[in-house]
Amino acid sequence: MDYKKFFASNSWWAVLFILPAFLGVFIFIIIPVFMSFGLGFVKWNLISPPQFIGLKNYIELFSDEIFYKVLWNTFYYAFITAVFSILIPLVLAYALDRKLKGAAFFKAAYFLPYVTPMIVIAIVWTWMFDPNYGILNWLLGIGDSVKWLYDEKFAMPALIIVSIWKNIGYNMIIFLAGLQAIPESVNEACELDGATGFRRFFLVTLPLLTPTLFFVSIMTVISSFQVFDLIFLMTEGGPQNSTMIMVYWLFKQAFEYFNIGKASAIAYVLFVIILLLTLIQWKTRKKWVLNE
Amino acid sequence: MGLKRINIIKIISYSLLMAGAFSMLTPFIWMLITSMMTQKQIFSYPPEFIPDPLYIKNYPDVVKSIPVATYFFNSTVVAVLTTLGQLIISSMAGYAFARFEFKYREPLFLIFLATTMVPPQVNIVPLFFIMRELYWIDTYQALIVPGLFGGFGIFLMRQWFKTLPVELEDAAKIDGCNPLQTYFRVALPLALPALATLGIFTFILTWNSFMWPLIVTNSDNMRTLPVGLAILKGSFRETTEWGQLMACAVISVIPVIGVFLMGQKYFIKGIMLGGIKE
């Protein structure tokens, strides 16, 4: 190609405009993805030179009892969180969709937890969950019988409650957008046919909302698989590993035990799970239509 | 459907929404109240709800016991610079993808989109290694630079520029502006709503960011608010200074709530757009 022509053309300008973004994405996202894959096949403690050990990290991982415990915890956390982070916002969005006064207040109130730093949430909820002085047990009138974060059985449910509380606002906004995309004529037709209340919700609204529902479900599950702050700040994976989930385990392997190979293997297992979920979502994304 | 029926539906809706709003806001109110209580009152049982006396000394006390001002300054610098950088870099690339004709445009754009599928946690170990090789551990660069890039911002800006009419930019071209001048003088001012959306999003995400600052900082001078506060929470687990802890939590949450309330409209728009990564 003639270089004079090149510099006179849009291509030159395109290179100039895109180069900063491309370099950044290449160095800080694309290279690390491949490095992470490679590091899954070495033994390395960040200090001595890395040693190639083939599939050993993965074999060790899949024969480790804790791995299955962590995997189970992660799925359990993600799915229970997702179920309630979908049902509650769905009902709330449906209630909010009837042009009530104060809608702006409700939107802002529901949204606050979503924009709040996890450390702030962790401090307040840790104090509220306190078995002896917390307001939660006092409100429920159960004395100190449930020890929440200190109890193997209740630590995970406690974390799930906090996650649902944080997720509600975000999902409600998306459901609201989905509901508002249903044409007014559909609702009018329902009224003419006498389909109201629950009948209308289950027979008309819900089927029309399926794409949104599907999208929100997958997004919530994906983000739940990535949870870290909550675990680090409230339970540190305990008690007895009952809240040990994948990203926190990865963090511990990498930055506490300096077991880089194992950490990278965990990272890739997580990546594959999330990738599968994302692909399902992309395959069906065409059905997710948003009319503002 | 009678008037009575409509009223019943309204009452049910309101009750649900009020109950929801109550559970959303209680932790915040409880945090604010506790931050103004004496140690003795905090540990009273059954719990008391009105600070008596109003004990605001927790605020100066926490500022004395940990370098809150330094943390606050670091968080502000990192969030503001990340936001500005992200806005410039993403809008330039987004503009090029929306307006210029060039070879490999579509595949290149797909690469950017594909990077949004990579969970950041997968990259954290190699990124830490890269930071160490660059001697960036415990510096502002480490806190800011990796946060400047991402497919979402580029996608969002491209979508916006595509909806703008080309005529104004053509006029600028005829007046002798080169593409860079056209972008800065004509296109960028028209993209303010999209920039606001991306800016508010980036600011809040960066301000709240925890895992990355935790990993790449190790001195008190470089800590951001969430990490500093986490250390305080950890060390206080035994000493139980809940009043001071709550005071510091209130301080950390004010900027995000402020930015969110100011730009609520744009933030919500961004969430809806995030759902349609084309």
A175-190 mean pLDDT: 83
Residue of B95, B103, B264 with shortest CB distance to A108: B264
Q: Identify all chain A residues contacting B16, using CB atoms and an 8 Å cutoff.
A: 91-92, 95
Quote the pLDDT of residue B54.
Answer: 86
Burial of A213 (C-beta count, 10 Å sphere; 0-12/13-18/19+): middle
Quote the pLDDT of residue B123.
Answer: 95
pLDDT 10s digit of each residue in chain B, 278 long? Answer: 566 777 888 888 899 999 999 999 999 999 999 999 988 888 887 888 888 888 889 999 998 888 999 999 999 999 999 999 999 999 999 999 999 888 889 999 999 999 988 999 999 999 999 999 999 999 999 999 999 998 999 999 999 999 888 888 888 888 888 888 999 988 999 999 899 999 998 999 999 999 999 999 999 999 999 999 998 888 655 557 889 999 999 999 999 999 899 888 887 777 776 654 33
In degrees and rounded to multiples of 5, residue A43 shows phi and psi of: -105, 125
Quote the pLDDT of residue B239.
Answer: 57
Nearest chain B residue (CA) to A215: B275
> In a 3-state reduction of DSSP, which class is residue A262?
helix
Q: Using the beta-carbon criterion (under 8 Å), do B183 and A17 form an inter-chain contact? A: yes
Q: Using the beta-carbon criterion (under 8 Å), do A229 and B210 form an inter-chain contact? A: yes
Quote the pLDDT of residue A292.
Answer: 33
Nearest chain A residue (CA) to B45: A133
Nearest chain A residue (CA) to B206: A117
- The nearest CA of chain B is from the CA of A68 a distance in Å of 19
Is-contact A110 B24, C-beta < 8 A?
yes
Show Cβ contacts of residue B177 under 8 Å, excluding neighbours closer than 6 positions: B185, B186
Provide the token pair at B95. Answer: 């503009």
Q: Identify all chain B residues contacting A124, using CB atoms and an 8 Å cutoff.
A: 27-28, 30-31, 246, 249
Quote the pLDDT of residue B40.
Answer: 87
Quote the pLDDT of residue A4.
Answer: 64
Q: Identify all chain A residues contacting B20, using CB atoms and an 8 Å cutoff.
A: 88, 92, 106, 110, 168
Query: Using CA atoms, how far apart are residues B48 and B42, in angstroms rounded to an integer?
Result: 8
Q: Does the structure show a pLDDT above 50 at A116?
A: yes
Query: Using CA atoms, how far apart are residues A180 and A105, in angstroms rounded to an integer?
Result: 18
Query: Using CA atoms, how far apart are residues A144 and A12, in angstroms rounded to an integer?
Result: 69
Helices (H), A143-183: 155-180
Quote the pLDDT of residue B278.
Answer: 32
Quote the pLDDT of residue A192.
Answer: 78
Query: Using CA atoms, how far apart are residues B29 and B35, in angstroms rounded to an integer?
Result: 10
Show Cβ contacts of residue A236 under 8 Å, excluding neighbours closer than 6 positions: A248
Query: Using CA atoms, how far apart are residues B204 and B262, in angstroms rounded to an integer?
Result: 12
Q: Which CATH architecture has domain B58-274?
A: Orthogonal Bundle (1.10)
Tens digit of each residue's pLDDT (9 = 90 or more) over A234-256:
999 889 999 999 999 999 999 99
Residues 184-213 in B contacting A (C-alpha not used; CB under 8 Å): 204, 207-208, 210-211
Residue of A112, A125, A128 with shortest CB distance to B24: A112
Provide the token pair at B181. Answer: 């001048």
A168-179 mean pLDDT: 90
Q: CA torsion sign, B243 to B248 to B250 to B251?
A: positive
Closest-CA residue to A171 (of A284, A80, A94, A270): A94
Q: Does B240 touch chain A (CB under 8 A)?
A: no
Q: Using the beta-carbon criterion (under 8 Å), do B21 and A24 form an inter-chain contact? A: no
Best residue in B5, B122, B188, B231 for a mutation probing chain A (most A CBs within 10 Å): B122
Give, for A52, the enclosing helix (H) or strand (E).
strand A51-52
- The nearest CA of chain B is from the CA of A65 a distance in Å of 22
Quote the pLDDT of residue A289.
Answer: 46
Q: Does the structure show a pLDDT above 50 at A291?
A: no
Residue of A109, A170, A215 with shortest CB distance to B24: A109
Query: Binning pLDDT at 50, 70 and 90, where does residue A3 land?
Result: low
Nearest chain A residue (CA) to B203: A115
Q: Does B17 touch chain A (CB under 8 A)?
A: yes
Q: Does B104 touch chain A (CB under 8 A)?
A: no
Q: Does A257 touch chain B (CB under 8 A)?
A: no
Domain ranges of chain B: 3-34, 58-274
Of the CATH numbers 1.10.3720.10, 3.30.360.10, 3.20.20.10, 1.20.1730.10, which one belongs to the domain with range A56-287? 1.10.3720.10
Best residue in A17, A85, A101, A139 for a mutation probing chain B (most B CBs within 10 Å): A17
Is-contact A12 A240, C-beta < 8 A?
no
A103-115 helix and B264-274 helix, angle to the nearest 10 degrees:
70
Q: Identify all chain A residues contacting B240, using CB atoms and an 8 Å cutoff.
A: none
Q: Using the beta-carbon criterion (under 8 Å), do B126 and A126 form an inter-chain contact? A: no
Provide the token pair at A120. Answer: 């702030």
Query: Binning pLDDT at 50, 70 and 90, where does residue A163 land?
Result: very high
> In a 3-state reduction of DSSP, which class is residue B174?
helix
Quote the pLDDT of residue A8.
Answer: 62
Closest-CA residue to A281 (of A226, A220, A221, A214): A214
Query: Using CA atoms, how far apart are residues A25 and A35, in angstroms rounded to an integer?
Result: 14
Domain ranges of chain A: 3-39, 56-287
